[in-house]
Amino acid sequence: MREHFDQEINSLKNNLIKAASLVDEQVERAFKALESGDLELCRGIKARDKEIDAYDNLITTQCENILALFQPVAVDLRFIISAMMINKQLERCGDIAVNISNRIKKTDAYHSLIAESRLIEMGQKAKEMLKNAIDSFIHNDTEIARNVLLSDDEVDDLNKQIFKFLVSKMENDSSLVEPCSHLIVLSRNVERLADHATNIAENLLFHLQAKIVSHNKIGGEIRDGR
């Protein structure tokens, strides 16, 4: 029975890693398009999102079957719960990659404005957070996960600065209202990507340490390394 359970767990983790790899590629492609203005990079992002959705359904089914067949407890149960949560975060990251690519198509004529707004800098930080969150899950590395949580404040601060910058641009030049509106939405998507990366890291810490840290990271638990 335990051998069968371990096989199912390994299969589940392998599928999560495959889904994470797809999401990472999608996000990487979307941000390369944002930075370079190359719309060709956006091609195929929406089509590949269906593959991520398929993994979402497969992983959800696997988790449900493991819970029903084996009734895991303790660390095994926490892994299944974390896997279900991480799976949903990955699926949403895939959706965000699609959203970003759609906005790039509407703002490709304003590449200098994008660069000036620091949106590319924010995107690089969010992308790095996602990569690190995925690595923390693959390698069961709590230190990487904690660093992801600590990085979230930087992205939040940049999001606020970018919003103020774009509002100022719209106030001073009415011709920029439409592109700046798209960039505000794009910035919000990048901020949400960082949030999902944070959630992945939080779920990894829940699995390994049996601690719920989602509402405690500012209060000292994460910053103190406890």
The more confident residue out of 226 and 17 is 17
Per-residue model confidence (pLDDT) at position 221: 52
User: pLDDT at residue 32 above 80?
Assistant: yes
Question: What count of Cα atoms within 13 Å lies in the side-chain half-sphere of residue 158?
Answer: 24
Q: What is the pTM of this model?
A: 0.92
User: pLDDT at residue 216 above 70?
Assistant: no
User: Cα-atom radius of gyration of the chain, to the nearest Å?
Assistant: 19
CB 134 within 8 A of CB 170: no
pLDDT digits (tens, 9 = 90+) for 33-57: 999 888 888 988 988 999 999 999 9
User: pLDDT at residue 6 above 50?
Assistant: yes
Per-residue model confidence (pLDDT) at position 105: 86
Nearest to 193 by CA among 128, 106, 111: 128
Q: If 0-12 CB within 10 Å is exposed, 13-18 middle and 19+ buried, where does residue 225 land?
A: exposed
Q: Which CATH number fits domain 2-209: 3.40.1010.20, 1.20.58.220, 3.40.190.10, 1.10.230.10?
A: 1.20.58.220
User: pLDDT at residue 224 above 70?
Assistant: no
Per-residue model confidence (pLDDT) at position 223: 44
Per-residue model confidence (pLDDT) at position 217: 52
Locate the domains of the chain by residue range: 2-209
User: pLDDT at residue 219 above 50?
Assistant: no
